[in-house]
Amino acid sequence: MKVTTRFNPKLFELMRGYSRERFIKDVGAGLTVSVVALPLAMAFAIASGLPPQSGLFTAIIAGFLISLFSGSRVQIGGPAGAFIVIVYGIVEQYGVGGLLLATFMSGVMLWLMGFLRMGVLIKFIPVSVIIGFTNGIAVLIALSQIKDFFGLQIEGKVPAEFFALVKTLWQALPTWNGAALAVSLLSLAIIVIWQAVMKRKVLLPDEAGLLPRVSGSLALIPGSIVALVAATLLVAVLQWDVDTIGSRFGGIPQGLPEFTVPAFGWAEMKGLFLPAMTLAVLGAIESLLCARVADSMIRDKHDSNQELLAQGFANMVVPFFGGMPATGTIARTVTNIKNGGNSPVAGMVHALALLLVVLVAAPLAQYIPLPALSAILMFVAWNMGEWREFVRLRTFRMPYRISLLLVFVLTVVVDLTVAVEVGIFFACFIFIYRISSLTTAERFALPQEILATNGVAAYKLTGAIFFGAVKLIDDMLADMPAKALVLDFSSVIYIDSSGEESLEELLEAYHEKNIPVLVYGLRQQPWDLLQRTGWLKRLGQENVLQHAGELENRLAALD
């Protein structure tokens, strides 16, 4: 018998029989992923209102810890684009100290979700809600990058609120910088064309068309790095006047991050509870969706609870080193898989490679132009959104359309937290309505072989007797038979406490009239609940029948 524990990282399982060949593949995959993660980590941090080193330190520390304790073989953790809007709002309202505390709180929540084995509950969030806020986040990321993409001159911080953001961008539009726009468009074109060319490596020579096939080694280089290098060289050679990491942030410190203790206080924690909860829920969704995608690619099964434990622990640690929220990232995980990564060692190598870059090549980062990073994020935003779902909306039913569009609009215009809350509430309301509509109490005629049927009413109950469907009892109270009431529970799959109270009311009303109630066909859950609450005892053991065949004898006894 296999014993399951609450703490069971995949790394510990896979180390048995770990070979030199697998290690070489993991090292190669980890180095490739680090090249992909380098520009994204800096871009996500800058877009979130943080210095670029915050993203790098998060990719290093959280990336290492997530891989070390992950419940997935190939999950790569780090800063994610989905957090940009939330993090920016927290930094604007509560400052960097508030973000560190919120990140720590979200880590505790994630850890508790994993410890309490709540990983499976995340899967119950409706697809329409996930697509709605994912597309909404993509739009907000693109809007947040317009300033650097066009080189707009805006004094002070760009507001996070949608209408204020649009107004600020519109007013600053005349200040656009031609050099910055040229760098942005060039970077975006390089990324798009590079991705299109790299796909040719999987085609046969006669299928490649005008574009040539690409060798495997060249295809390992991501387009974002090519664009970043090209844009940096272009700006340096032509001496264009565009913002760079050095001009805005003074570069990236060369060395290990300093230990920082977030300011803990009840007032701060109370105000940051909802933002921290949003970070935790979004992080859980992102990481578990990423793990499911990875499972389908490597034909493995991840441990969702262990993954939440890993995410929680990583987010509890990174705030002490000035980091930002982290989660599993689909783009880096897929890159890891496609380049031969087959164990958490690849993710740990990716983190160590980024650490080496910070220790050795950090001074070079000051020359990176910000318009190039904004172009990378524009590309990320486009790929993040599931835009085809808007086209396919007409093929879905009205509740799905309303839910998706409602969450999308609220995410863009109001707030992500509100959007998720309203979306889940609306989805639950629709679910309750549909389930209650499937719960019925239909009157049926008793078989001819059952004697003495005059004055006997029989109902077949179907579905779930819960708080949303308790009104089905009303017909049985309004039209009482003279001799007995027969209830067929064979199609009842669930009864909750509200349903039991309605049945209790029904029983009391019939007992006052001295009319017996006969039930049969009880399944396990309804039987357990009615037995535990004493309803069956009050009903009378002689009135609890196993099947319809016992009705004849019982009705005869009543005569």
Query: How far apart are the C-alpha atoms of 2 and 173, rounded to whole Å?
Result: 64
Place 519 in a pLDDT band, splitting at 50, 70 and 90.
very high
Place 527 in a pLDDT band, splitting at 50, 70 and 90.
very high
Place 453 in a pLDDT band, splitting at 50, 70 and 90.
low
Highest mean pLDDT among 40-44, 192-196, 288-292, 443-447: 40-44
Q: Stretch 398-402: mean pLDDT, rounded?
A: 88
Residue 199 confidence (pLDDT) above 50: yes
- Domain assignment present for residue 7? The answer is no
Q: What is the pLDDT of residues 345-383, one digit of tens each?
A: 999 999 999 999 899 888 888 888 999 999 988 988 888
Q: In what order do the strands lie in the sheet with 440-443?
A: 440-443, 456-465, 484-495, 517-520, 544-545
- Domain assignment present for residue 8? The answer is no
- Domain assignment present for residue 42? The answer is yes
User: How many degrees, rounded to 5, is the angle at CA 453 between CA 449 and CA 457?
Assistant: 120
**φ, ψ for residue 459 (rounded to 5)?**
-125, 140
Q: What is the pLDDT of residue 220?
A: 61
Q: Residues 417, 495: one domain?
A: no
Residue 446 confidence (pLDDT) above 80: no
Helix (H) / strand (E) element for 76: namely none
Question: Of 389, 420, 452, which residue constitutes the final position of a domain?
Answer: 389
Q: What is the pLDDT of residue 265?
A: 80
Q: Residues 403, 257: one domain?
A: no
Q: Stretch 221-238: mean pLDDT, rounded?
A: 87
Q: Residues 405, 462: one domain?
A: no
- Domain assignment present for residue 6? The answer is no
Instruction: Confirm if 325 and 8 have CB atoms less than 8 A apart.
Output: no
Comparing 130 with 544, which gets the higher pLDDT?
Answer: 544
Comparing 557 with 410, which gets the higher pLDDT?
Answer: 410
List Cβ neighbours of 466 (8 Å cut-off, separation of 6 or more). Answer: 435, 436, 439, 494, 495, 496, 498, 499
Percent residues over pLDDT 70 in the chain: 93
Q: Residues 431, 445: one domain?
A: no
Report residue 215 CA to chain centroid gap.
36
Q: What is the pLDDT of residue 208?
A: 45
Q: What is the pLDDT of residues 308-334, one digit of tens each?
A: 999 999 999 999 999 999 999 888 888
Question: Of 331, 359, 389, which residue constitutes the final position of a domain?
Answer: 389
Q: Residues 141, 43: one domain?
A: yes
Q: Residues 358, 497: one domain?
A: no
**Lowest-confidence range among 101-110, 174-183, 329-338?**
329-338
Q: Residues 275, 418: one domain?
A: no
Q: Residues 519, 431: one domain?
A: no
Comparing 532 with 266, which gets the higher pLDDT?
Answer: 532
Angstrom CA distances, 378 to 142, 290, 408, stand at 5, 21, 18
Segment 526-532 long-range contacts (CB within 8 Å, at least 24 positions apart):
526/465, 526/489, 526/492, 526/493, 526/494, 526/495, 529/495, 529/496, 529/500, 530/495, 530/500, 530/503
Residue 447 confidence (pLDDT) above 60: yes
Counted domains in the chain: 3
Residue 487 confidence (pLDDT) above 70: yes
User: How many degrees, rounded to 5, is the angle at CA 359 between CA 355 and CA 360?
Assistant: 115
pLDDT averaged over every residue in the chain: 85
Q: Residues 370, 455: one domain?
A: no
Residue 49: left if φ>0, alpha if ψ -120 to 50, beta else—which one?
Answer: left
Question: Of 350, 373, 389, which residue constitutes the final position of a domain?
Answer: 389
Residue 552: CATH number of its domain: 3.30.750.24
Query: How far apart are the C-alpha atoms of 499 and 494, rounded to whole Å?
Result: 9
Residue 217 confidence (pLDDT) above 70: no
Q: Residues 464, 330: one domain?
A: no
Q: What is the pLDDT of residue 365?
A: 84
Q: What is the pLDDT of residue 129?
A: 84
Q: Stretch 146-173: mean pLDDT, rounded?
A: 87
Place 218 in a pLDDT band, splitting at 50, 70 and 90.
low
Residue 385 structural domain: 19-389
- Domain assignment present for residue 12? The answer is no
Percent residues over pLDDT 90 in the chain: 34
Residue 548 confidence (pLDDT) above 50: yes
Q: What is the pLDDT of residue 291?
A: 87
Query: How far apart are the C-alpha atoms of 11 and 256, rounded to whole Å?
Result: 26
> Among 14, 10, 29, which Cα is nearest to 336's?
29
Place 553 in a pLDDT band, splitting at 50, 70 and 90.
confident
Q: Residues 415, 454: one domain?
A: no
Q: Residues 340, 475: one domain?
A: no
Comparing 533 with 470, which gets the higher pLDDT?
Answer: 533
Residue 207 confidence (pLDDT) above 60: no
**φ, ψ for residue 522 (rounded to 5)?**
-65, 130
Q: What is the pLDDT of residues 2-20, one digit of tens each?
A: 444 467 888 888 877 788 8
Place 440 in a pLDDT band, splitting at 50, 70 and 90.
confident
Instruction: Confirm if 215 and 201 have CB atoms less than 8 A apart.
Output: yes
Can you say whether the dihedral through the CA atoms of 406, 412, 193, 347 is positive or negative?
negative
Kindly provide the b/e burial profile for residues 243-256, where b requires at least 16 CB atoms within 10 angstroms of the residue's own CB: bbbbeebebbbeee
Place 411 in a pLDDT band, splitting at 50, 70 and 90.
confident
Q: Stretch 56-79: mean pLDDT, rounded?
A: 93
**Lowest-confidence range among 101-110, 413-422, 456-465, 523-532?**
413-422
Q: Which amino acid is present at 88?
A: Y
Q: What is the pLDDT of residue 65?
A: 95
Query: How far apart are the C-alpha atoms of 136 and 25, rounded to whole Å?
Result: 37
- Domain assignment present for residue 284? The answer is yes
- Domain assignment present for residue 87? The answer is yes
Query: How far apart are the C-alpha atoms of 10 and 43, rounded to whole Å?
Result: 30
- Domain assignment present for residue 367? The answer is yes
Residue 206 confidence (pLDDT) above 60: no
